[in-house]
Amino acid sequence: MKYTLVTGASRGIGRAIALLLAKTGQPVIINYRTNEAKALEVKRLVEATGTPAELLAFDVANEAEVDRAMDAWEAAHPDDWISVLVNNAGIRHDSVMFMMSDEEWHSVVDTTLNGFFYLTRRVLKHMMPRHRGGRIVNMASLSGVKGLPGQANYSAAKAGLIGATKALAIEVAPRNITVNAVAPGFVETDMTCDLNEDELKRQIPMRRFAKPEEIAEVVAFLVSPAASYITGEVINVNGGLYT
């Protein structure tokens, strides 16, 4: 059986992605780090669509945790594999560079970039030699495309993810695996609740933040058969902010 794994799926964009992809009928693995209550809520909503769902708790930035979780999942699913991976987990610790701490830099880069590396490498071990197919979508950001002040760490992590997306897409294309990135602008989630929304909306041509579900729709397209010849691309979803 094929599975879909969405990281950081207990809230925000990840939650919306998990719920939308559940409508395809493919079982969904809901990754989370600490918020089990929210993850259980997503699991219940996925199952309400008639699609099976599982929880898988691990910190994507911790290589040992990733390996332990995947070892356990693979042992419990010897005949199954993950055919869709959405690398969505990410965090923000905004600060101007000269005041940024080591922890603020490393935690953001480790979660986005190292997390992508640890988990994607593991999933590819089954996608490539055994099944010769799959879909990988990496959640980038407007910050990684154009850079935003106060986000040198976040911009570096997301820009690195975009570069890795393009390189990996070339590596795995002969195995019928596509790798793409989605770069949202400002989205209505708890990650952006501390921002001055009224001020930022004046910079956006569409004069509003995106809904998480609007980002999820793009991900759903990229993992669908309709996008089988699209790889190495970065899809900007920002209301015209960066055009």
Q: Give the tens place of pLDDT for each residue, 171-219.
A: 999 999 999 999 999 898 776 667 677 888 888 999 999 999 999 999 9
Name the token pair of 177.
Answer: 């695996």
Q: Minimal CA–CA distance to 111: which of 187, 58, 72? A: 58
Q: What is the pTM of this model?
A: 0.94
The domain segmentation of the chain, as residue ranges, is: 2-237
Using one digit for the tens of pLDDT, what is the confidence trace for 35-65? Answer: 999 999 999 999 999 999 999 999 999 999 9
For residues 237 and 122, what is the distance between their CA atoms, to the nearest angstrom? 28
Active-site positions read 154
pLDDT reported for residue 116? 98
Model confidence at 243, in pLDDT bands (50, 70, 90)?
low
pLDDT at residue number 193: 67
User: Which of these CATH numbers, 3.40.50.720, 1.10.3720.10, 3.30.565.10, 3.40.50.2000, describes 2-237?
Assistant: 3.40.50.720
CB-based contacts of 76, cutoff 8 Å, min separation 6: none
Q: Is the pLDDT of residue 159 over 80?
A: yes
pLDDT attached to residue 192: 67
